[in-house]
Structure 1
Amino acid sequence: MKKNYILSVLLLLSAIPLWAFQDMDNVKIKVIPMSENIYMLTGRGGNIGVLTGNDGVFMIDDQFAELSPKIKAVLDSLSGQPVKFLLNTHFHGDHTGGNANFKESGAVLLAQENVRQRLKENNEHPAEDKLPVITFNEEISLHLNGNDVMALHVHNAHTDGDAIIYLPQGNVLHTGDTFFNGAFPYIDLDSGGSVAGDIEAAQQGLAIINKNTRIIPGHGAPAGYEDYRQYLEMLKGIRENVLSAISNGASREQIIEDESLTSSYYTDAEVKDSFISGPKIRATFYDSLQAENNQ
């Protein structure tokens, strides 16, 4: 499962004060072709998915408000059409920060209904112009640019409002933050995320794709089926290891300190500078599994 690179997920939530002090001037938006008329954009924050065509641009996530002009410039180079629909995979600020800017430019905002509620409750995002205007519970489909865009709600995974988006004609899947390629997962327990849900999300994603599918993860490099499958196996393996330790009487503190529970995937040294370090992921698994046991 080890890779030659380790994703340093230092910047995830707009609630982290560091965001307010970051200089976005030097951020460059990179375009990675994924399939015909389908692209992945990277910059700072969550990976963006883009589908272009005569029907207008369909975009998945939008990073930070400060980057909207750069993102729009790149989109203009890819398509002469405006952003018609913008779908948020979840509510975190590195995926929704540009909502108001794109809505002002005419984009229709869509998301799972819990995303709208979370954005309304978040003091960083109180304004109506940042809120999705179309919400769905379990799934929604759009038909444009020769693709049937399928957005599926995966329950209590990274958060309580995650959606994975599959474009079958292009054979591209955007997982949002239910998949971090090359890193431990970030499971936001305070926002409805859970280990069980994150595992189920990966299982559901793998069930609807095939060996040739190209994957846009929430963070990290573009991925394929095998990367996604190995990510699922990591989640299952850590769960099994932590459950075994709990059954053997290990305390929360002992589990956090026990690197052997996770080192076959990434050592603590490898991820020491990542947002989700070894101790953090072990604490997350312990807390989530204990909560499940107490239900």
Structure 2
Amino acid sequence: MKKKIIFLFLFIPLMAFAQSGGESLPVHSTEVAPGVYRLFVNERVATVLFSGPDGVILIDAAYEQTATQLKAAIEAITQTPISYLVNTHHHGDHVGGNVALGSNAIIISHQYVRDYVSSEHRAGERVIPAMAEEGRPDISFLNELKLDFNGQTLQMLHLPKGHTNGDVIIYFPESKVIVVGDLLFADNFPYVDVGSGGDPMGYILNQQYILDNFPRDLTVIGGHGPIYTMERLREYNLELQKTVETVRIAKQQGMTAEQMKAARILREWEAWGKFFITEDRWIDTLFPVL
């Protein structure tokens, strides 16, 4: 089916997460398969809506600050309440809207995510409180969970030690769609949350697992950046491996991380450093593990 693009001008207030001042950004909806929509929030983070005869599943809830706009975008597609909310991992741009959007739904995540959002954390001097009970996952799992819904058996699979240690991918076999969360920062250097069990080598291996174990004709929806085909994911993964080898060789030759940055050894991938993770931050991520 040809993808249908809907521009929903549901304007999002510019807060700390905004990219630029003085403008408002829409929620963009793309129907990637019948009843399956990618909702791109604030031109930064993707959520996925699956609507059908059994009800509605939402994958990720984006920011707390954008919950009203995301809800309006969903209601422009369907008036059916959300039955299930699935979190791909625990970061605030994916679970922030849990309370507002998932309080009347069954929330599903990996056990790591439930444990994380259910307790208080510190980020430097800042205290991050536990999430309100109504936003915490109701169902958590360790390895795999299957759900029969809207005529499909959805497969939720934990891939450890990638972006975090609680990443979940969701496979829609009949729709030929796979949602991989932040295991894909499409067209950008990835962010690997080492403090939450992420690992850059595991990140690459998890992408390879997806490529090796799922059909080649899938639409791939990552947490950030454009929609991919499986072939485009393969190309991205190969380029990511090249960045690793570039840093590895430089380290073997005796260069420090600061010398690598000064020499701009990753300048070939300059375009990847304009979203969140810069060339320098990717070097800092790779250097300790090579």
More off after superposition, 242-251 vs 162-171: 242-251
Shift, 1:25, TM fit: 9.5
Q: Does 1:211 align with 2:216?
A: yes
Which residue of structure 1 aligns with residue 134 of structure 2?
129
Residues 21 and 203 of structure 1: is their aligned pair in 2 closer, same or farther, counting only changes over 3 Å? closer
Q: SS state of the match for residue 76, structure 2? A: helix
Shift, 1:271, TM fit: 5.1
Task: Give the number of the structure with larger relative contact order, counting CA–CA contacts within 8 Å between residues 6 or more apart.
Answer: 1
Which residue of structure 1 aligns with residue 276 of structure 2?
275
Q: SS state of the match for residue 26, structure 2? A: coil
For residues 119-139 of structure 1, give each alpha carbon's deviation from its aligned partner in whole angstroms, at most 9, with x where no partner exists.
224343512222111111111
- Which has the larger strand fraction? 2
What CA distance in whole angstroms lies between the structure 1 residues aligned with 2:222 and 2:249?
30
Which residue of structure 2 aligns with residue 235 of structure 1?
240
| 2:106–2:138 CA contact under 8 A, matched in 1 | yes
Which residue of structure 1 aligns with residue 228 of structure 2?
223
Which residue of structure 2 aligns with residue 29 of structure 1?
27
Shift, 1:220, TM fit: 0.7
Corresponding pairs, count: 268
Q: Does 1:114 align with 2:112?
A: yes
| 2:109–2:137 CA contact under 8 A, matched in 1 | yes
**Percent identity of paired positions between Structure 1 and Structure 2:** 29
Which residue of structure 2 aligns with residue 254 of structure 1?
259
| 2:232 aligned partner, one-letter code | D
Superposition pairs for residues 1-295 of structure 1, below 5 Å?
Answer: 18-19=16-17, 26-44=24-42, 45-104=44-103, 106-119=104-117, 120-122=119-121, 123-126=127-130, 127-260=132-265, 262-264=266-268, 266-267=269-270, 270=271, 273-287=274-288, 289-290=289-290
For residues 32-74 of structure 1, give each alpha carbon's deviation from its aligned partner in whole angstroms, at most 9, with x where no partner exists.
0111111100112420011101211011101112322222222
What CA distance in whole angstroms lies between the structure 2 residues aligned with 1:221 and 1:102?
24
What CA distance in whole angstroms lies between the structure 1 residues aligned with 2:226 and 2:137?
27
Shift, 1:242, TM fit: 1.7
| 1:172–1:213 CA contact under 8 A, matched in 2 | yes
More off after superposition, 116-125 vs 136-145: 116-125
Shift, 1:146, TM fit: 1.2
Q: SS state of the match for residue 52, structure 2? A: coil
What CA distance in whole angstroms lies between the structure 2 residues aligned with 1:53 and 1:237?
42
What CA distance in whole angstroms lies between the structure 1 residues aligned with 2:202 and 2:36?
28
What CA distance in whole angstroms lies between the structure 1 residues aligned with 2:48 and 2:208?
21
For residues 20-39 of structure 1, give each alpha carbon's deviation from its aligned partner in whole angstroms, at most 9, with x where no partner exists.
99999934221101111111
Q: SS state of the match for residue 169, structure 2? A: strand
Which stretches in structure 1 are left out of the alignment for 5+ residues? 1-16, 291-295
Give me the CA root mean square deviation.
2.3
Please, what TM-score do these two structures have when normalized by structure 1? 0.84
Shift, 1:272, TM fit: 5.6
Shift, 1:152, TM fit: 0.9
